[in-house]
Structure 1
Amino acid sequence: MNESSLVGRHVLITGANTGIGRATTEELARRGARLYLACRSKDKTQSVIDTIRRNTPEAQLRFLPLDLGDLDSVRRCASEFLALDAPLHVLVNNAGLAGQRGTTKQGFELAFGTNYLGHFLLTQLLLPRLRASAPARIVHVASDSHFECKALDWDALRRPTRTFMAMKEYEVSKLCNILFGAESARRWRELGVHSYSVDPGTVASDIWRKIPWPVRYLMTRKMISPRDGAFSSLHCATSKDVAEHNGRYYALSGRDRAPSVLAQDATLARILWEKSEEWVGGTR
């Protein structure tokens, strides 16, 4: 991974106060980026900001309230950032949940609505600033678990979580992240805004906090650390080696690889995009 200075670069990262997001934030701060931490909890995020400032006194960090499971909150977060009149060179769509059941505030399946649809709206609302700051990058934190998803059931995306462990729904949400990255690359290729989807590996992070014990222990004991899991995100957010890439999927090593056959379906990606625009009620 290129270790060049990021002074002057502005980065917004969702879910920045824990797990992969926190590890990504700490490294970006160390390298001098100006950071906007979009998270649900102000108290938890402020604790992370204070820790980073102790280790990196010159760090520039700002909290932005964001609940991806509430599209009204997504709109407020985007409006608050845009009101700052700051550039945006990198957007890291990192936040996510797994093993939780239910629906979002607007009635979407919880994992789909939080991991994908909230980020879809946030990215669309921030696109004008990304475009104005070009060359800019969008990093979508996905997962190799998307290979397990064999179809999209459009009706299921509008209903409560069906499976007990909610892992099938998690797989769907991660497939949608990759489809979004590929379709945005096709639509925005002339805007100077590049998209990257990444597999961070299987990381022992707070994303699994709702998985019942002892299942959670058995799942996480052989997983990698959040710091190791942040590698692919950092690589795609900062490396000159991928500056000209667009719409690709990257493994834990930082090398691009082919996603699932379903994730390469351009027609499916287009339909998902069109349905998502309808579901969020507009992206302006």
Structure 2
Amino acid sequence: MTERFEKTVLITGANTGIGAATATELARRGARVYFACRNEAKTRPVMNEIAKQTGNDDLHFLELKLDDLESVKKCAAEFKAKQEPLHVLLLNAGLARVKGVTKQGFEMTFGVNHLGHFLLTVELEEVLKTSAPARVVTVASRAHERTSTPLALNHVKSSLTGVGWKEYQASKLANVLFTKELARRWAGSGVTSYALHPGVIASDIWRTTAWPLRTVAMWFMRTPEQGSTASLRCAVDPTLEGVSGKYYGEHGEERKASPLAEDEKAARELWDKSLEWVSPFRN
């Protein structure tokens, strides 16, 4: 019998792919799940289907546009106004190979995959600490291992290439650095942090990839349900209680992050610079 998990969880990008699969399993275990997503009209049908599948209708929508820091600020404020605990913040939403900039002018992939999530986390810091033990789980990627250069913080307002892979790799490196620095800064608070590689998943993150390549690649990808394995372990596994700042593979096994992701100086610099960037949007 699946172990119950009757706690409060907020998942970004919970209406599709790994996020929806994770939300479904957590709902099945009895969690109250907040779906922090861009589009309510697209999210409500997913919530209704999950409620039907699991018998759990304790599912709630929050509007969150990670490419707009004002929206992130509003989402955090809306959740805090509910005066509820938050036991798991699951930073799942992400994009790849999308050109352009966020509303505040940051390179789109970095802005969505790292900076929007960073603001959401620090805005919910007090709630998380009050709810301890609590967890911040970040869906990163093995792609962070494939970048051979340190994070270029002076380039986050411009694209590095025309293809988008370097931007994606850099954003995933930022995810792991963020996880490790959160563990250091919030040590002893009862809030622990985890980063993970879900595997290569057949999900909407690849929606901007040319369809012939995408169609062929899908045959070799894991399903969202398979991809939720590591997210679920990091979110609920009692054996990870008190563990923080670690990186996990697609089967939930602890793995070693890349040497660049272990750079404590880079992690501190990323955190400090991120705080500076989001400071106009703090409540």
User: Fold match, TM over 0.5?
Assistant: yes
Q: By how many angstroms is 1:243 displaced?
A: 1.1
Would you say the 8 A contact 1:100–1:211 is kept in 2?
Answer: no
Match for residue 143 of structure 1?
Answer: 141
**Residue 175 of structure 2 corresponds to residue 177 of structure 1:** yes
1:128 counterpart SS class: helix
2:198 maps to which of 187, 197, 200: 200
Q: By how many angstroms is 1:61 displaced?
A: 0.3
Match for residue 32 of structure 1?
Answer: 30
Query: Distance between the aligned counterparts of 1:220 and 1:187, measured in 2?
Result: 39
1:233-248 aligned within 5 A:
233-248=231-246
Match for residue 66 of structure 2?
Answer: 68
Would you say the 8 A contact 1:93–1:119 is kept in 2?
Answer: yes
1:159-178 aligned within 5 A:
159=158, 161-178=159-176
1:83-232 aligned within 5 A:
83-150=81-148, 151-159=150-158, 161-232=159-230
Match for residue 272 of structure 1?
Answer: 270
Query: Distance between the aligned counterparts of 2:24 and 2:246, measured in 1?
Result: 25
Match for residue 3 of structure 1?
Answer: 2
Q: By how many angstroms is 1:253 displaced?
A: 1.6
Q: By how many angstroms is 1:216 displaced?
A: 1.7
1:111 counterpart SS class: helix
Q: By how many angstroms is 1:217 displaced?
A: 1.9
1:68 counterpart SS class: coil
2:195 counterpart SS class: strand
Query: Distance between the aligned counterparts of 1:121 and 1:227, measured in 2?
Result: 28
Query: Distance between the aligned counterparts of 1:78 and 1:235, measured in 2?
Result: 25
Would you say the 8 A contact 1:14–1:38 is kept in 2?
Answer: yes
Query: Distance between the aligned counterparts of 1:203 and 1:42, measured in 2?
Result: 24
TM-score (norm 1): 0.96
1:73 counterpart SS class: helix
Gaps of 5+ in 1: none
RMSD: 1.2
TM-score (norm 2): 0.97
Deviations 1:125-154 (A, max 9, x none): 001000000000010000000001122122
Would you say the 8 A contact 1:140–1:197 is kept in 2?
Answer: yes
Query: Distance between the aligned counterparts of 1:22 and 1:50, measured in 2?
Result: 12
Q: By how many angstroms is 1:77 displaced?
A: 0.2
Aligned residue pairs, count: 281
Match for residue 254 of structure 1?
Answer: 252
Q: By how many angstroms is 1:53 displaced?
A: 1.5
Gaps of 5+ in 2: none
Q: By how many angstroms is 1:3 displaced?
A: 3.5
Deviations 1:154-185 (A, max 9, x none): 222112x3423211100100000000000000
Query: Distance between the aligned counterparts of 2:143 and 2:271, measured in 1?
Result: 21
- Aligned amino acid, residue 199 of structure 2: G
Would you say the 8 A contact 2:28–2:55 is kept in 1?
Answer: no
Identity fraction in percent:
49
Match for residue 51 of structure 2?
Answer: 53
Deviations 1:158-213 (A, max 9, x none): 12x34232111001000000000000000001110000001100101000001122
Q: By how many angstroms is 1:113 displaced?
A: 0.3
2:13 maps to which of 8, 12, 15: 15
Task: Decide which moves more: 161-170 or 72-81.
Answer: 161-170
Would you say the 8 A contact 1:32–1:59 is kept in 2?
Answer: no
Query: Distance between the aligned counterparts of 2:144 and 2:2, measured in 1?
Result: 30
